[in-house]
């Protein structure tokens, strides 16, 4: 199986996804370092094939997370691997050339619109290391929901993230809408059991920020499941590995295609965004003037020998169930 790389970002470049030392790390089938399973007292199975984690709550818990993320810590949470914590390395030697999109690489988004508010940076801690990802607020019954990559919430079969906070509209250190900490986290069963990249999706229900739901502050994008494959999309995120610095919203746009290696059910888009963009939304039927579209995937991984193609999981029935569970939390 072809080696794959996560799209995470962390303060230091370390062996494997979560910074496990070479002496203690074991290698998964995707080439990621696996940590021994952690006690999961707070992880409870939800209806269907969904796994939930309840975050320590209360005012003290929320304030503890907000206090943790000082400007210095945020600045130090640099990229660890390509396109987020679970980004893969694309392709296998001798594979066909991937279809090229009209855009060759990522570009800074300057057209404004809703996407500049609904997309944000995620700061989190796993195994004592600080990471960054991307995420988007989404329309939901509880008005508190964001969607991101599963590896930006839980380290596959390993630990859940701590100190998880969402900063919508982040730009060059500015936080115009504040921060929203996590209260409940959700991933699919296949991701939690075996780090199956076809299901690398996470949903997080947030605590109110300054007494307001995130949807009341920045709005939320539409989301859809079971749509036609191969539809063009715009993908957004905060890549933090060179040549990017994670300080601005970046996008790619163009056609998508199936995984040519048949290793996942994901679809790929030509895009050179780097680590830190994991979990960023893929928006179909995107309208540039309004900055609105319908989320149909999130940035997940790249293959090692094709770093120009980003892959994202298909939103089918399992992800729909994930959403339905999370929006009712």
3-state SS track over the chain: CCCEEEECCECCCCCCCCCCCCCCCEECCCCCEECCCCCCCCEEEECCCEEEEECCCHHHHHHHHHHHCCHHHHHHCCCCCCCECCCCCECCCCCCCCCCCCCCCCEECCCCCCHHHHEEEEEEEECCEEEEEEEEEECCCCCCEEEECHHHCECCCCCECEEEEEEECCECCECCCCCEEEEEEEEEHHHHHHCCHHHCCEEEEECCECCECHHHHHCCEEECCCCCCCCCEEEEECCCCCCCCCCCCEEEEECEEECCCCCCCCEEEECCCCCCCCCCEEEEEEECCCCEEEEEEECCEEEECEEEEEEECCCCHHHHHHHHHHHCC
Q: What is the mean pLDDT of residues 146-153?
A: 96
Q: What is the mean pLDDT of residues 71-80?
A: 85
56 pLDDT band, cuts 50/70/90, is: confident
Encode pLDDT of 85-128 as tens digits: 333 433 233 232 222 233 456 899 999 999 999 999 999 999 89
Q: What is the mean pLDDT of residues 318-328?
A: 97
pLDDT score for 57: 74
81 pLDDT band, cuts 50/70/90, is: low
Say which residue, 236 or 61, is predicted with more confidence.
236
Mean pLDDT, the chain, integer = 82
Percent of the chain past pLDDT 90, that is, above it, reads 70
How far is residue 130 from each of residues 69, 165, 272, measured CA to CA in Å?
10, 12, 23
Q: Indicate the pTM of the whole model.
A: 0.82
Q: What is the mean pLDDT of residues 148-160?
A: 95
Q: For residues 303 and 7, is the Cβ–Cβ distance under 8 A?
A: no
């Amino acid at each position: 199986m072809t080696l794959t790389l996560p799209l995470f970002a962390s303060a230091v470049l370390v062996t494997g996804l979560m910074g496990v030392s070479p002496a203690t790390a074991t290698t998964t089938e995707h080439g990621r370092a696996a940590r021994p399973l952690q006690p999961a007292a707070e992880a409870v199975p939800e209806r269907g094939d969904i796994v939930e984690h309840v975050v320590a709550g209360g005012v003290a818990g929320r304030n503890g997370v907000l206090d943790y993320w000082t400007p210095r810590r945020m600045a130090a949470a640099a990229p660890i691997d390509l396109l987020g914590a679970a980004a893969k390395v694309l392709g296998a030697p001798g594979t066909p050339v991937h279809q090229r999109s009209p855009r060759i690489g990522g570009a800074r988004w300057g057209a404004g619109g809703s996407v500049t508010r609904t997309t944000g940076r995620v700061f989190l801690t796993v195994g004592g290391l600080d990471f960054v990802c991307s995420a988007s607020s989404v329309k939901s019954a509880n008005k508190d929901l964001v969607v991101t990559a599963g590896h930006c919430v839980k380290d596959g079969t390993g630990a859940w993230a701590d100190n998880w906070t969402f900063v919508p509209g982040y730009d060059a250190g500015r936080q115009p809408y504040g921060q929203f900490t996590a209260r409940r986290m959700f991933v699919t069963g296949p991701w939690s059991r075996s780090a199956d990249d076809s299901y690398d999706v996470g949903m997080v229900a947030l605590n109110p920020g300054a007494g307001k739901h995130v949807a009341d502050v920045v709005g939320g994008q539409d989301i859809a499941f079971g749509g036609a494959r191969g539809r063009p999309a715009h993908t957004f995120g905060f890549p933090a590995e060179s040549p990017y610095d994670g300080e601005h919203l970046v996008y790619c746009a163009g056609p998508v295609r199936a995984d040519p290696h048949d290793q996942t059910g994901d679809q790929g888009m030509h895009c050179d965004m780097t680590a830190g963009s994991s979990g960023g939304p893929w928006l179909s039927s995107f309208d540039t003037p309004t900055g609105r579209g319908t989320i149909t995937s999130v940035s997940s991984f790249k293959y090692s020998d094709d770093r120009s193609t980003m892959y994202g999981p298909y939103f089918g029935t399992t992800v729909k169930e994930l959403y339905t569970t999370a929006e009712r939390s």
